[in-house]
Structure 1
């Protein structure tokens, strides 16, 4: 499957030296959410062991002129990759932010209000997070609550990327 990842030039150089690239939790802005995603990968991807931090990939082609890829002036690369579908765990970018904010993924306003009444018990909130991977359920929610389900913004996580998976390298300087 063709996917894309955005990496700093220094990470790409490391990849060329060692032949592969994995994620690194020490660079994560949200280490608990990152760890949770690793646990989900272990449950959902064959042969994945959660000691290997994932790399984020995109289904859509990333535009090097997009804002916020990196801090202005940072040298980066967009790697076009060919990775087996079974090595990627997909989730919608927008809903991922619900987890980053430690909020529940709710079906509608009524369910949200139930959480509100009970002061958002953390375990009950976390129990909703696995909904992140049920695209049919997410798409079935009322539009007035959840908006349009946009599968253009699908993000994936994969255990590692290797040099032989690279189809194309596009260098850029963040704007």
Structure 2
């Protein structure tokens, strides 16, 4: 078992409270938004990888993305400026979680090859799609990720985690928030949030399934 965190829209959380679990509904996926359609193949690929590697079918849905550190809500750009949401603290079984490297995941989003060495990145030859798709599997190899960044003296790997769905009995705490923008007012609010979090004034609300009667309005 491990502790993870996931940012979700307030509406998604309300639906989860009604049905008893949170899942990645394809109707609300980011690639449905104008300008993001080209991300869909990457998310479809992650669905395939999850089903193959974990062995749990998603039945037409998408996995829920999680991180192993509490997000900095002072920076915004989590669920869309001005939108209300929640950060869920969750405890998940290890055998239901698929781990991948976050920065290399962007090669999948961009349909680019993830080469084995820095020298291969400099090649002018265009690899075929089969090679590109196969190369993405390196994002699940933590040893490869650690070795590659060590050899290239780049930032250490950052990992992301996906699961087929989150049962509400796995939720340990909830922190409501409103996503910030880049405006100077929100930047000040962001600094206030960071200070409050470090001082312990901003805390998640303990959550106990079956005792929770609804979602508190976010001020």
| Fold conserved between structures, TM > 0.5 | yes
User: Relative contact order (alpha carbons < 8 A, sep ≥ 6): 1 or 2 greater?
Assistant: 1
Segments of 4+ moved more than 4 angstroms? 142-146
Matches within 5 A, 1:1-175: 1-26=2-27, 27-29=29-31, 30-46=39-55, 48-51=56-59, 52-114=61-123, 116-117=124-125, 119-141=126-148, 143=150, 145=152, 147-150=154-157, 153-175=158-180
1:111-145, CA deviations, whole angstroms, 9 ceiling, x for partnerless residues?
2234x32x231111111011110010111126574
By how many angstroms is 1:64 displaced? 2.2
By how many angstroms is 1:108 displaced? 1.9
CA distance in structure 2 between the aligned counterparts of 1:54 and 1:72, rounded to whole angstroms: 23
Question: Please, what is the CA RMSD of the aligned residues?
Answer: 1.7
**Structure 2: unaligned runs, 5 residues or longer:** 32-38, 181-219
Q: 1:174 to 1:28 in 2, by over 3 A?
A: closer
Tell me if the contact between 2:115 and 2:121 (Cα under 8 Å) persists in the aligned partners. Answer: yes
Give TM-score scaled by structure 2 length: 0.73
**Structure 1: unaligned runs, 5 residues or longer:** none
CA distance in structure 2 between the aligned counterparts of 1:125 and 1:171, rounded to whole angstroms: 40
Tell me if the contact between 1:5 and 1:56 (Cα under 8 Å) persists in the aligned partners. Answer: yes
Tell me if the contact between 2:7 and 2:78 (Cα under 8 Å) persists in the aligned partners. Answer: yes
CA distance in structure 2 between the aligned counterparts of 1:112 and 1:63, rounded to whole angstroms: 32
CA distance in structure 1 between the aligned counterparts of 2:133 and 2:152, rounded to whole angstroms: 20
Give TM-score scaled by structure 1 length: 0.90
CA distance in structure 1 between the aligned counterparts of 2:62 and 2:153, rounded to whole angstroms: 30
CA distance in structure 1 between the aligned counterparts of 2:42 and 2:149, rounded to whole angstroms: 26
2:85 aligned counterpart, secondary structure? strand
1:59 aligned counterpart, secondary structure? coil
